């Protein structure tokens, strides 16, 4: 299942093409279901269980990653990949997920929220700069800005609010950027994949362009860091995965600050699967091919479904 009424519609299509390319066609019959930009389905929703045994969801952003499609599939009693309704909605909501991370002993950047109804009335002088401004419930760094001047802050908030009803103004953390995938095992547990360090080439942080344009960033997997640092990042990724209740697989973005603290930025419950995406890089570094990664994600969908029903 790809597409959907999301700002990440095109990325979803790209991820779907990679999944279709690498999935074991001797093992699976693949039936593409492309959801339109207006949320229109090519078949009636109630027909889906009659044409497929499991839904492999590759819909990023709103509708596909926020619990909406998961709720539809749950109500159809349809096995589906990745996280369930509650985990998806929690991970997508950055203010709520930050609370969950902190409740589980992890650090997050200091942040404040601004809504559409009050952003004109905010005294922007109260914010510490530089700051990252982002939509509160979108992925792939859509609508994200790095702001260094107070005079630019309101425009950045307004930009973020074109993608969401709420924006976050977050303290910019200088440091090294890392991401780490977590993959469920067949025993009901999960394990972290090798750490990736990210070096954006075209911007000061890992924005949408750096994530999806080939050559816009340089990633090193496994990261060339100490064993102790790698284990710390992996343990945090696993803890973040568990804190939001993710399943199948996830990918957690972090910054190791110049102050020595490790800050969790977000858990991606449907990580990108494009040719430049980081979850496949981590899997390959662990010795898991993309085809095997897809197998494991599908297997996890059936395990979760059986445990519920």
pLDDT classification of 277: cutoffs 50, 70, 90: confident
- Residue 208 has a pLDDT of 45
Confidence of residue 137 (pLDDT cuts 50, 70, 90): confident
Say if residue 288's pLDDT is above 80. Answer: yes
Q: What is the pLDDT of residue 118?
A: 83
Sign of CA dihedral 130, 135, 139, 140: negative
Residue 95 CA to residue 200 CA, distance in Å, equals: 25
φ, ψ of residue 251 in degrees (nearest 5)? -140, 125
Give the model's pLDDT for residue 86.
Answer: 95
The pLDDT confidence band at residue 274, using thresholds 50, 70 and 90, is: confident
| Residue ranges of domains in the chain | 2-82, 89-107+174-308, 111-171
Q: Could you give the percent of the chain with pLDDT greater than 70?
A: 93
Could you tell me if 304 and 84 are in contact, meaning their C-beta atoms sit under 8 angstroms apart?
Answer: yes
Burial class (CB in 10 A: 0-12, 13-18, 19+), 216: middle
Query: Each residue of 231-266: pLDDT tens digit?
Result: 999 999 999 999 999 999 999 999 999 999 999 999
**Alpha helix locations (H) across the chain?**
9-22, 48-51, 68-75, 85-92, 94-103, 150-161, 208-212, 227-244, 278-285, 290-308
| Domain 2-82, architecture per CATH | 3-Layer(aba) Sandwich (3.40)
Would you list the DSSP string of 281-294?
HHHHHTT--HHHHH
Q: What is the pLDDT of residue 206?
A: 45
> What percent of the chain clears pLDDT 90, i.e. is strictly above it?
75
Cα separations in angstroms, 94 against 16, 25, 202: 25, 37, 25
Q: Is 305 exposed, middle or buried (0-12, 13-18, 19+ CB in 10 A)?
A: middle
- CA 247 from chain centre, in angstroms, equals 13
- CATH architecture assigned to 111-171: 2-Layer Sandwich (3.30)
> 31: helix, coil or strand?
coil
Which top CATH class is 89-107+174-308?
A: alpha beta
Beta bridge partner(s), residue 192: 182
Q: Is the pLDDT of residue 139 over 90?
A: no
DSSP string across 202-240: SSSS--HHHHHSTTSEEEESS-SS-HHHHHHHHHHHHHH
Q: pLDDT tens digits for 83-96?
A: 999 999 999 999 99
pLDDT score of 172 more than 90: yes
> pLDDT tens, 147-157?
999 989 989 99
């Amino acid at each position: 299942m790809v597409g959907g009424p999301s700002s990440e519609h095109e990325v979803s299509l790209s991820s779907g093409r990679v999944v279709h390319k690498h999935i074991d066609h001797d093992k699976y019959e693949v039936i593409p279901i492309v959801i339109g930009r207006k949320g229109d389905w090519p078949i009636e929703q109630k027909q889906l269980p009659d044409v497929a045994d499991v839904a492999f969801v590759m819909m990023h952003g709103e509708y596909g990653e926020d619990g909406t499609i998961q709720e539809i599939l749950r109500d159809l009693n349809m096995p589906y990949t990745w996280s369930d309704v509650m985990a998806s909605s929690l991970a997508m909501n950055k203010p709520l997920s930050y609370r969950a991370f902190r409740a589980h002993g992890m650090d997050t950047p200091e942040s404040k929220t601004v809504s559409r109804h009050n952003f004109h009335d905010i005294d922007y002088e109260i914010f510490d700069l530089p700051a990252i401004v982002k939509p509160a419930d979108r992925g792939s760094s859509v609508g994200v800005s790095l702001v260094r001047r107070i005079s630019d802050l309101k425009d950045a908030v307004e930009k973020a609010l074109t993608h969401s009803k709420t924006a976050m103004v977050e303290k910019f953390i200088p440091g090294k950027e890392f991401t780490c995938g977590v993959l469920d095992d067949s025993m009901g547990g999960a394990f972290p994949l090798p750490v990736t360090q990210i070096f954006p080439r075209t911007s000061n942080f890992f924005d949408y362009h750096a994530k999806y344009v080939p050559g816009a960033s340089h990633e090193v997997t496994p990261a060339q860091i100490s064993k102790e640092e790698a284990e710390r990042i992996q343990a945090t990724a696993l803890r973040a995965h568990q804190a939001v209740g993710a399943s199948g697989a996830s990918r957690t973005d972090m910054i190791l600050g110049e102050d020595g603290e490790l800050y969790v930025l977000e858990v991606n419950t449907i990580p990108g699967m494009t040719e430049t995406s980081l979850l496949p890089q981590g899997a390959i570094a662990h010795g898991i091919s993309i085809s095997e990664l897809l197998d494991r994600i599908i297997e996890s969908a059936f395990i979760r479904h059986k445990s519920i029903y």
